[in-house]
């Protein structure tokens, strides 16, 4: 597959704006003639998916990255360009699907930035053919709609065939916009949620959720209006700029995460707002830093220095909990047995282990065991 068949390369003349040694200066800009197969495996690929007339923000984001410097060593960032978009939405979706499928199967890491939610669903459909979906959503609402009535990105999960092997995590949702009946269409799937208030008290709560996910969808409406004004459904409360950047680092650091999708912005407003452009670029910077720090810790799949802990809970019908802690990073996992299969490791934290020591079954274990045990 040739890049130019599906994407318009961004002008190489942008390089004149970049400071030497900056993130953008070190990135490789596709000229369009390269086959995707020629991109080195493990590269991070950046795609913008908006109409050309609405895509002026792309060069601004890259210009901002051209003033930021990497704290990491070797990391290959490839700017693929902007998706070729026609008036035919079916063609656009098909073209996007071909691109991301090729990228994922080639061992590349697509970061997609688009104001169009339709491509988020396409990304899910493509990845579901590769591996069971483990989804995370950063969104202000746990309902079908955003505060102003626009469709919520979380709604794409309703249209997917989700089951016991899948999971959905929602992060930074606000109680005002939480509909308790929203999850009725995704029952039978492992669900976790961290509300904005709990997250603010302990940002670490989001780390296990992101560590378990293979796809992440970031709706910038989750950021409060005073920190990011170019949203499509602005609210006075939400994540601070520092908090969304920290979440992006957690996401990049997750060894499971294969792709992320950033949406929820107004393209015209974003192009004119230098502060918002800078925050979006900083989010990408933190993602790249997380990616560069990965340790390849995947229990049951990769070998790494770890220690196991066993805790017996209960007297009449005792349950033995199996915890695993990395000796390199301090991260925790909990083993959940399955009736007919080998079981499943889920990301957890030290608090789950401490609760178990006090004879409390962790919620993660109960929730997943009731589903698959």
In tens, the pLDDT along 142-179 reads: 998 999 999 999 999 888 888 888 999 999 999 999 88
pLDDT of 185 reads 54
What stretches in the chain show pLDDT beneath 50? none
Q: Determine the pLDDT at residue 158.
A: 80
DSSP state of 275: H
Q: What is the pLDDT of residue 182?
A: 64
47-99 pLDDT, tens digit per residue, is 999 987 678 999 999 999 999 999 999 899 999 999 999 999 999 999 999 99
pTM of the model: 0.95
Which structural domains are found in the chain, ordered by start?
A: 3-292 (3.40.800.10), 306-372 (no CATH)
* pLDDT, position 338: 79
pLDDT of residue 161: 81
Intra-chain end-to-end CA distance of the chain, in Å = 43
Q: What percent of the chain has pLDDT over 70?
A: 97
> Could you tell me whether strands 77-83 and 7-8 are parallel, antiparallel, or unpaired per DSSP bridges?
antiparallel
Report the alpha-carbon angle 59-283-225, nearest 5: 90
Instruction: Pick the closest to residue 15 from 27, 7, 4, 3 (CA basis).
Output: 27
């Amino acid at each position: 597959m040739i890049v130019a068949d599906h994407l318009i390369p961004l002008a190489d003349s942008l390089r004149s704006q970049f400071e030497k040694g900056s993130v953008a200066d070190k990135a490789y800009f596709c000229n369009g003639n390269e086959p995707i197969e020629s991109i080195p495996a493990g590269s991070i690929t950046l795609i913008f998916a908006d109409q050309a007339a609405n895509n002026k923000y792309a060069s601004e984001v890259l210009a901002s990255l051209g003033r930021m410097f990497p704290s990491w060593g070797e990391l290959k960032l490839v700017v693929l360009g902007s998706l070729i978009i026609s008036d035919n939405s079916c063609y656009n979706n098909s073209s996007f699907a071909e691109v991301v499928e090729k990228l994922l199967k080639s061992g590349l890491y697509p970061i997609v930035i688009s104001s169009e939610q339709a491509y988020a669903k396409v990304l899910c459909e493509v990845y579901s053919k590769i591996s069971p979906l483990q989804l995370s959503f950063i969104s202000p609402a746990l309902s079908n709609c955003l505060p102003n009535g626009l469709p919520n990105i979380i709604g794409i999960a309703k249209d997917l065939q989700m089951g016991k092997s899948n999971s959905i995590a929602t992060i930074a949702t606000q109680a005002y916009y939480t509909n308790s009946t929203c999850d009725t269409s995704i029952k039978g799937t492992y669900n976790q949620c961290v509300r904005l208030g709990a997250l603010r008290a302990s940002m670490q709560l989001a780390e296990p959720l992101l560590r378990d996910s293979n796809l992440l969808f970031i709706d910038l409406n989750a950021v409060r209006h005073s920190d990011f004004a170019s949203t499509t459904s602005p609210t006075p409360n939400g994540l601070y700029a520092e908090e969304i950047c920290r979440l992006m680092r957690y996401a990049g650091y997750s060894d499971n995460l294969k792709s992320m999708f950033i949406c929820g912005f107004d393209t015209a407003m974003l192009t004119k707002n230098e502060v918002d452009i800078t925050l979006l670029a900083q989010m990408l910077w933190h993602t790249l830093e997380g990616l560069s720090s990965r340790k390849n810790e995947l229990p049951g799949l990769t070998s790494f220095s770890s220690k196991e802990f066993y805790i017996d809970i209960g007297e009449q019908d005792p349950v033995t909990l199996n915890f695993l802690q990395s000796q390199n990073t301090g991260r925790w996992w909990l083993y959940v047995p399955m009736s007919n299969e080998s079981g499943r490791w889920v990301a957890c934290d030290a608090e789950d282990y401490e609760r178990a020591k006090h004879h409390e079954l962790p919620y993660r274990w109960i929730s997943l065991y009731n589903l698959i045990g």
